[in-house]
Amino acid sequence: MCGIFACHHHPDVQKFKPTALRMAKAIRHRGPDWSGNFIKNQTILVHERLSIVGVDSGSQPLVNDDSSIALAVNGEIYNHRILRKSLDSKYHYKTHSDCEVIIPLYMKYGVDAPKHLDGMFSWVLYDANEDRVIAARDPIGVTSFYQGWSSKTPGAVYFASELKSLHPVCDKIVAFPPGHIYDSKTDTTTRYFEPTWWDPKRVPTTPVDYKAIRESLERSVRKRLMAEVPYGVLLSGGLDSSLVASIAQRETLRTRAMQTQGSIASENGDGELVGIDDENDLSTVTLLAQLHSFSIGLPGAPDTEAAIEVAKFLGTRHHAFTFTIEDGLNALSDVIYHLETYDVTTIRASTPMYLLSRKIKALGVKMVLSGEGSDEIFGGYLYFHAAPNKEEFHAETVRRVKNLHLADCLRANKSTSAWGLEARVPFLDKQFLETAMNVDPQEKMITKDRIEKYILRKAFDTSDEPDVAPYLPDKILWRQKEQFSDGVGYGWIDGLKDNAELHVTDEMMKNPKPEWGDDIPTTKEAYWYRMMFDEHFPPSCANTVERWVPTWSKQTDPSGRAISTHVAKYKDAA
């Protein structure tokens, strides 16, 4: 991940420059490797860089030969090599960065440029010849991005990777919508991402194709191995992260074998390979001696034990970290500062991930693969047991995927970026989404014969394929869902609730702050988080937050452990 801050049509951009640099510095944790800025006319772009691809030459903002176009990007473009082949061969690339391809792409396609990108990204491009700013965000919102305005500088528009860079200079801020592009020429924001599954009322009827699901996810993981730095996988021990880890390990072993056989040429002596997939000509991967995997939990946590079992099965070099409830409580205010939310579910799950990310970065790893998105796509949360029919089941999956940028994507992006670590999420690949979201939702429904995410599990079940090695042990492949905040240890949530009781009185619950309006916390835990949020951010930032509770359920606690299905399952197991 990187951090960007930009302002277009500022009345005195030179005078504003020190402030702009200070706003960017507030998100330097996202990009600790280098800083850069570009000023022209009334526009300034500032960039804080985390170098993953094009390490030696990819400093930003990127500019074309005559400096008429400047670009600041946060993200990764997985198809950049393929795009370079299809664009103007006369364009002079100054770097090996995957992001520079956006400049000639814009020169050829204008505001349609993002439609051609395969990756996760937020970017701001300035075209000096037209005095025009273009800003775009990836289809699902894997990377965080915000837009702001100030009553003190009417006509100016601001952009940043995080709220903390905008609220000191803006009095109106919105979350930049995923899959959209802003054009200052028309002062409009329009949706460029138009997948076939977007309309929740269009219920798919396509039968499930297990082979297509498996191959699509494998391609997605393969793309995301593009890196020139040490990388690893987050391994909770649940189905989603375990599948990602399994595929990544298979790709690592396959690529190493191809290198040994001489079918892939090494560019240098450090094991850096180009074109790990001949069919798609994907980009660069640095082979490690052994794939690293990482987990975290309270001592004896359900997920930690499962993660260790998976790592042993796969042969990864596993790091099973532990944390205490006190560690988590001490980090809460910092977590809310970095997450920029007061949503209970997000904070519960983000705190262990935040602590884990710090430990991972200390080991020298800069990129990890993670399993976010699967539960939204396949209806994996336990409350989906209560879906009354396939139409509502499908509509809820569409709604959840569309809102990922306010929940799990926000968690994955900001928990890791807080320590200069990048998280990549294969389940949210737009090609994989096209495959998985177009399956007849009846196939995804949870019945007495089908556990949640049945079709994903079945796609990677090789029990009837004697020539294919198993991806996971059966007990992991068919293990019931644990929400991350539960799986790290049940004492974690209990500890949060107990401490909220100490900080929030009954009288406080009866008298919420007037500036909260109708957004009133319903539990003491939620009230506690909102108070901490208010310590960091003004009320104008609250409209970017969404508080989540399960559909088809009357519970006030969003924990999966509170769902009756989970209770029944573990009573039976006992």
Enumerate the active-site residues.
2
From residue 60, how far is each of 10, 43, 48, 71, 280 by CA, in Å? 21, 15, 8, 7, 27
Give residues with Cβ within 8 angstroms of 395, minimum separation 6: 200, 201
> Strand 317-322 vs strand 292-297: parallel, antiparallel, or unpaired?
parallel
Closest C-alpha among 101, 21, 92 to residue 54: 101
CA-to-CA distance for 120 and 415, rounded, in angstroms?
A: 16
Strands of 146-149's sheet in order across: 34-40, 43-49, 3-8, 157-160, 146-149, 172-175
Extract the tokens encoding 461: 């079940």
The reply, when asked if residue 98 is annotated as ligand binding, is: yes
Count the neighbouring beta carbons within 10 Å of the beta carbon of residue 191: 12
CA-to-CA distance for 127 and 130, rounded, in angstroms?
A: 6
The reply, when asked if residue 314 is annotated as ligand binding, is: no
CA-to-CA distance for 446 and 433, rounded, in angstroms?
A: 20
The reply, when asked if residue 370 is annotated as ligand binding, is: yes
3-state secondary structure 273-330: EECCCCCCCCCEEECCCCCEEEEEECCCCHHHHHHHHHHHHHCCEEEEEECCHHHHHH
The reply, when asked if residue 173 is annotated as ligand binding, is: no
Closest C-alpha among 349, 401, 406 to residue 376: 401
SS3 368: strand
The reply, when asked if residue 39 is annotated as ligand binding, is: no
CA-to-CA distance for 243 and 227, rounded, in angstroms?
A: 20
Binding residues for L-glutamine: 98
Binding residues for ATP: 234, 296, 370-371
Binding residues: 98, 234, 296, 370-371
